[in-house]
Structure 1
Amino acid sequence: MSSPDSTPTAPAAVDATAPMPATRRALLTGALTGGAALAAAGYSPAAWADEDVQRGTPGRRIRVTVLGTTDLHGNVYNWDYFKNAEFDNKTHDDIGLAKVATLVKGVRAELAAKRNPHPVLTLDAGDTIQGTPLAYYYAKIKPIGGDVVHPMATAMNLVGYDAAALGNHEFNYGLDLLRTFEDQLDFPLLGANAVDPATKRPMFPPYVIKRYRVGRGRTLTVGVLGLTNPGIAIWDKANVEGKMEFPGLVEQAQKFVPIMKKKGCDLVIVSAHSGADTSSSYGDALPFPENAASLVAEQVPNVDAILVGHAHKEIPQRFVRNAETGQQVLLVEPYYWGMRLAVMDFVVQETYSRKGRLKWVLVSSGGQVLNSNTVEEDAEVAAALREQHDTVVGYVNSVVGTSVSELRAERGVVEDIAIMDFVQYVQAGAVKAGLTGADAALPVLSIAAPFARGAVFPQGEVSVRDVAGLYIYDNTLLGVRITGKQLAEYLEFSARYFKTVTTTTAPVGEVTNAVTETAPNGTPDYNFDSVAGLDAPLTYDIDLAQPVGSRIKNLAYDGTAVTDDQQFVMAVNNYRQSGGGGFPHVPTAPVVYNRQNEIRQLLIDWVLEHKVIDPAEFASVDWRLVVGGEPLTVTFPAG
């Protein structure tokens, strides 16, 4: 770990002096190597930067490069654990830090071959230790600690990161595991806006300062500020409430950037686990926006660039004008899962202050992203994690039971289907078994969202990965008490997922993923909840010919219309109960069940115990889509 900078205003900041890379290594393997492999990945050597360096008279000019990743989500290899095959998608992207490592080392080698001093930093913008069975296994099945090192820690240390910002998913497994992961890293985890509730001081280093020797008696100082997502206070409330607070990105950047400049930072780079386009999935539950990177650029002076994360978007280069200084601040976001590597180039020029002190000023900047699907995995990273990977592959392919018939999830976005009923049934059953007192006499309902359209339980043997592929998030189960009126309003909110439809037959693309004020790119599947009853059916129609807010029709429990004051217990996940998605009532409803049981593990345990998945035990059609009261037929593309 780098040494701490123990100033009163930034007690946990990190300040280190880094030597310049001196030698070029042959790093790239496969059919294409060296510059050819980088060119195939989309690397343009930023000729404009070299030209700007050459024009550096009378003041000397230096080029600085920042390499960046984000939202790796536990992906080391180009592997889909749920399909037990190499990862592939419609655009044939590859994933994984092993491939990104090849790009990182390749760019470093190219730049090290240049004559001029050329500082290179490698950063990450968060969401590292959650998202794959590989990450889950070493958080829950065989938790890290002692001789057990998190695979992402091993891989990132081998790549040689300089710093990483905290992502919201870093908090999914609790603070103890996060601190253990932090201890296993050779670089700091930054979080200027993860603060102590009492002192309001950061509980992680807010920034790191790197000083590069760029000539005789000359030092270039680069500061990296780390910012995470305020939504952690909602999404992981059970893990952080009373232990940590998460003020806004703009507010904390306004506090720490001046400190970094005072400490001599010639360049200030922000690594932010926050999207570029301002929005918040949690509505007005917090005063701070979820996606605020562009606001930091616009409102905080002296920020030179932002490595953007969280939104899972690809932004090769975007400039945002700072309202106070007029500076054009560079934003780059390298997609997610290791599909891309961000490359940000800067040219700084030597100048002198009025007091005669040497300093550097930014002359020009630009960004690009490299595609990891053109290179081979880095052999060093791939070899280091192979044993852990093989262990997890064996785990996810172990058989836990059998299914009487094939159950598919694709149509769960438009129909009440058996595989979704399975989730409802297990959740509601677990909550009912844990109720006590008067709550034990109430009807139990359950919510579920279609997380993975491609999930399938095959007829015959069902493995861990089959079940985990249906429930892909590490959510925990809670039970809350609600009224019939609140239930109806919850369902109306959920029905915003659908577009208005006026015909009784429509393709799926014209039915689902409606654009709303909080979902400008379309409502994601995970924000469509259906609700089911355990001991009796909860039935309702969703009339898509009606305006939003008036779509739920014929709502009944056990054949009798639901009344406003009728009471239910509803099984929900921690994301919903803490406000995720902005659904009404559930975040403020009395919690009557909370054993911190992970829903995915409950599903796996149910299959292990019962051995057979038989839809006859739990499946029924209790809700449907209609248009003007007539059933809606939704068509899907062939194949």
Structure 2
Amino acid sequence: MSIDRRTFINRSAATSAGVALAGAAGTAAAEPAQAQERGHQPKRASLRVLGTTDVHGHVLNWDYFTDKEYDDKDHNDVGLAKIATLVEQARAEKGHHRTLLIDAGDIIQGTQLSYYYARVEPITGRHDKHAPKHPMALAMNHMRYDAAALGNHEFNYGIPVLRAFQAQCDFPLLAANALDAKTLKPAFPPYVVKHIRVPGAPDVKVGVLGLTNPGIAIWDKGNVHGKMTFPGLVEQAKIYVPKLRSLGCDVVICTDHSGLDGSTSYGDALPYPENASSLVAEQVPGIDAILVGHTHVERPCTIVANAQTGKKVVLSEPLMWGMRLSVFDLDLQLRHGRWEVVSVTAEVRNANTVPEDPQVAKLVRAEHQRVVAYVNQVIGTCKEAMSAAQAPYRDTPIIDFINFVQAATVKEALAKTAYASLPVLSQAACFSRSASIPAGKVSLRDVAGLYVYENTLDARVLTGAQVKDYLEWSARYFVQTPVGAPVDVAKLTNANSTPDYNYDVLGGGLTYDIDVSQPAGSRIVKLAFQGKPIDPKAQFVLAVNNYRANGGGNFPHVASAKSVWSDSDEIRNTIIAWVKANKTIDPAVFASGGWRLTRAGVPLF
């Protein structure tokens, strides 16, 4: 058997009948079929599909914010160099000629390595033989990826950077639900079809359908509005899965940058769910397996029955950043001249069990060293060490610093406008509990580690009443804890799986208590501005990141509020520029102690 790596799009054949699969844990399997012809056993074939997702710019097992090898409490390793070793092992087991490698998106954002080639030395800057190559393209091309779905973070740097990355890839970037806003035609290839050669039998035709996240329309509105539109995953899969079957595909694999559980972080701002992979499996007949992405969780194997056919669809999501590799194994049987899938299994493999592939590491060594030098440049000093370790449950100077810089930036921008007299509040969240700024010399990586996302700054007008609603929504993050009950900080936060980045602290002269003994929606007490109870009718300007301003997290009022200013530069760069200009970070200037957790008026800490 061998794989013809060319895209197959022109030939077609009759759609095969669906196979009723009966699933067990980790496996979906069918009863053995009768022999095709009397006295002859049917032909068998097998193939393997390997999958990664949410690699987020990790090639090497390196943390550019700490300037050392990556490690966490579970001793995970990260990066495509590690994954490449797992991939080669998996290919050797099954046969290179019958193994495909795909990705489910969020490739080019997340580390300073990927940021550098989007903003500092951008891949869009030159068009000659010496133009910089994106490290992710270098690694993925070497690893011989067959396809990758687009993730929402692919759009963070704008469409020109994404198109430049696309041009550097030797494999297609797929997105059946990324459409040109004017023509409503696909802006990227919806699918690719691969041939697997079977000696003495027809090729096995494998269709790979790529689906991205509708939330892009909200989260990266500034980059895509009027250019692209993003319908739902189920809606587009219903168009393209039958098309792939009509093209003669024996196997249909989806690679979805969308989680499993049907949840949505943007409320009713869009008619399409954010995490729709299980819905795709349930509502769209004809799919054999789905590589799941977006939610940064490890789900080795989930089985969902299709509501129409009863067929069991196998889904797998490997852990993010190249920590895990999903492995799908499919067995097929030749019936009446067509291949049919009779079993699918899925598992994940751990990148910390293998060494880095030396060839991948060598490919990106020069780029890596350039970025290490860039992030280690000293840009200022700090009078006291600051840490985000307690930021999710205590007011900490390191988060106050973000709010201080954001508010100062907006105040300066509005100084000569009709909004100059309005007080400026600011919103910030703890993106990384390991973020810290040392006492003494401060490097660029120290400051960049405070803000790991490519968010930009916006300014929206809210009333005092709306500010309170906003804070109530944010305070849902805490687990309700009755008076007298023991307090365990490890169990106090992330209620209903709310991530840290969806817990906002508001600064800029506000003070307030969060009473965690009360139910969500009734927790904000003693809300004051500059020492006086806040006036529900008073107007404020909120310095807010574009993710939140565009509806991310479904916070009330802000997405519909009037925007009075916005910036195209990343907030990270704004903070770095502030440190370079002011030279010294002094927590005494901005540490506010503006909020605290209480129960019936008694502080928890």
TM beyond 0.5:
yes
Residue of structure 2 aligned with 1:559, choices 525, 531, 534:
531
Aligned match of 1:612 = 584
Gapped runs of 5+ residues in structure 2? 13-25
Whether the aligned pair in 1 keeps the contact of 2:27 and 2:344 (CA below 8 Å) is: no
- Is the CA contact (8 Å cut-off) linking 1:68 and 1:341 kept in structure 2? yes
C-alpha displacement at 1:555, in angstroms? 1.4
Match of 2:138, as an amino acid?
Answer: T
AA in 1 matched with 2:521: G
Deviation of the 1:76 alpha carbon: 0.3
Rounded to whole Å, the distance in 2 between the matches of 1:125 and 1:455 is 28
* Partner residue, 2:499: 524
2:28·2:314 contact (CA, 8 Å) conserved in 1?
no
How many Å separate the matches in 2 of 1:278 and 1:493? 21
4+ residue segments displaced more than 4 Å: 1-8, 46-49
CA contact (8 A) 2:28 2:303 kept: no
1:21 is aligned to: none
1:289 aligns with 2:273: yes
Q: Report the counterpart of residue 32 of structure 1 in structure 2.
A: none
Structure 1 position 597, deviation (Å): 2.1
Please state if 1:501 is matched with 2:473: no
Aligned to 1:13: none
Q: Give the Cα separation in 2 of the matches to 1:560 and 1:380.
A: 63
Aligned counterpart, 2:95: 112
Aligned to 2:368: 389
- 334, 353, 362: which one pairs with 2:318? 334
**Residue in 2 aligned with 1:27?**
none
Q: Distance in 2 between matches of 1:247 and 1:183?
A: 25
Q: In the aligned structure 1, how far is the partner of 2:476 from the partner of 2:351? A: 37
Q: What is the one-letter code of the residue matched to 1:447?
A: Q
Partner residue in 2 for 1:449: 429
Following the alignment from structure 1 to structure 2, what is the Cα–Cα distance between the partners of residues 583 and 2? Answer: 46
Structural RMSD (CA): 2.2
In 2: Cα distance, 1:388 partner to 1:453 partner:
28
Indicate how the Cα distance of structure 1 residues 583 and 47 shifts in structure 2: closer, same or farther if over 3 A, else same. Answer: closer
User: Which residue, 131, 139, 157 being the options, matches 2:118?
Assistant: 139
Question: Match of 2:481, as an amino acid?
Answer: V
Paired amino acid for 2:473: F
What are the equivalent positions in structure 2 for 1:153-552 lying under 5 Å apart? 153-216=137-200, 218-352=202-336, 358-435=337-414, 436-503=416-483, 506-515=487-496, 522-533=497-508, 537-552=509-524
Between 150-159 and 315-324, report the one with greater CA deviation. 315-324
1:401–1:321 Cα change, 3 Å: same
Shift of 1:503: 3.8
After TM superposition, give the deviation of residue 7 of structure 1 in Å.
Answer: 10
Q: Residue 235 of structure 1: CA displacement?
A: 0.7
CA contact (8 A) 2:381 2:439 kept: yes
The normalised TM-score by structure 1 is 0.87
Cα deviation, 1:145-166, whole Å, max 9, x if unaligned, reads 4321110000000000000000
Rounded Cα–Cα distance in structure 1 between residues aligned with 2:513 and 2:152: 36
Structure 1 217/454 Cα, relative in aligned 2: closer, same or farther at 3 Å? closer
SS at structure 1 position matched to 2:536? coil
1:35 corresponds in structure 2 to none
- Please give the per-residue CA displacement for 1:241-288, whole angstroms capped at 9, x wherever unaligned: 111111111000000111111110000000111111211111111111
Partners of 1:175 and 1:2 in 2: how far apart? 26
Query: What is the Cα deviation at residue 539 of structure 1?
Result: 1.4
> In the alignment, what sits opposite 1:148?
132
How many angstroms apart in 2 are the aligned matches of 1:2 and 1:439? 58
* 2: CA distance, partners of 1:112 / 1:545: 59
2:43 is aligned with what amino acid?
R
**Secondary structure in 2 aligned to 1:269?**
strand
Q: Using a 3 Å threshold, how does the CA distance of structure 1 residues 47 and 622 change in structure 2: closer, same or farther?
A: closer
How many Å separate the matches in 2 of 1:214 and 1:432? 67
Q: How many angstroms apart in 2 are the aligned matches of 1:573 and 1:459?
A: 28
Q: Please give the alpha-carbon distance, in whole angstroms, between the structure 2 residues aligned to 1:172 and 1:2.
A: 30
- Identify which range, 222-231 or 414-423, moves more after superposition: 414-423
Give 1:44-59 correspondences, 5 Å limit.
58-59=41-42
* Partner Cα distance (1:296, 1:548) in 2: 32
Is contact 1:483–1:565 with CA below 8 Å preserved after alignment? yes
TM-fit CA distance, 1:326? 1.2
Partner Cα distance (1:232, 1:178) in 2: 14
1:42-79 deviation per Cα after TM superposition (whole angstroms, max 9, x unaligned): xxxx9999x989x9952201001101111100000011
Give the aligned partner of residue 590 of structure 1.
562
Paired residues of 1:2 and 1:187 also in contact (CA < 8 A):
no
One-letter amino acid matched to 1:362:
V
Assess if the C-alpha contact under 8 Å between 2:213 and 2:257 holds in 1: yes
Within 2, Cα distance between the matches of 1:178 and 1:604? 25
Residues paired across the two proteins, number: 577
Q: Distance in 2 between matches of 1:531 and 1:112?
A: 56
Q: 1:631 to 1:429 in 2, by over 3 A?
A: same
Q: Are residues 596 and 6 of structure 1, via their aligned partners in 2, closer, same or farther at CA, if it must alter by over 3 Å?
A: farther
Deviations 1:127-172 (A, max 9, x none): 0000001011111111014321110000000000000000010000
Match of 1:569 in 2: 541
Whole-Å Cα distance in 2 between the matches of residues 197 and 227 of structure 1?
Answer: 17
| Cα distance in 2 between the residues matched to 1:419 and 1:362 | 54
SS of the equivalent of 2:535 reads coil
2:572 maps to 1:600: yes
Per-residue Cα deviation, 1:512-557 (whole angstroms, up to 9, x for no partner): 2112xxxxxx211111111111xxx211111222222121112121
Question: Residue 576 of structure 1: SS of its match in structure 2?
Answer: helix
Structure 1, gaps ≥5 residues long: 9-45, 353-357, 516-521, 634-639
Report the CA distance shift for 1:300/1:551 in structure 2 as closer, same or farther (over 3 A): same
Letter in 2 for 1:509: A
Helix, strand or coil: the match of 1:164? strand
Tell whether the 8 Å contact from 1:52 to 1:347 is kept in structure 2 after alignment: no
For residue 636 of structure 1, what is the aligned residue in structure 2?
A: none
Q: Could you tell me which of 91, 107, 129 is aligned with 1:128?
A: 107
Write the letter of the residue equivalent to 1:67.
L
AA aligned to 1:331 is L
Aligned amino acid, residue 478 of structure 2: F
Q: Would the alpha carbon gap of residues 462 and 88 (structure 1) be closer, same or farther in structure 2, given more than 3 Å must change?
A: same
Structure 1 residues 579 and 74: alpha-carbon distance in aligned structure 2, compared to 1, 3 A threshold: same
Q: Equivalents in 1 of 2:10, 2:175: separation in Å?
A: 16
Partner of 1:80: 63
Q: Tell me what 1:18 maps to.
A: none
Farther-moved stretch of structure 1 (408-417 vs 203-212)? 408-417
Work out whether residues 382 and 441 of structure 2, in 8 Å CA contact, stay in contact via their aligned partners in 1.
Answer: yes
195-204 or 176-185: bigger deviation: 195-204
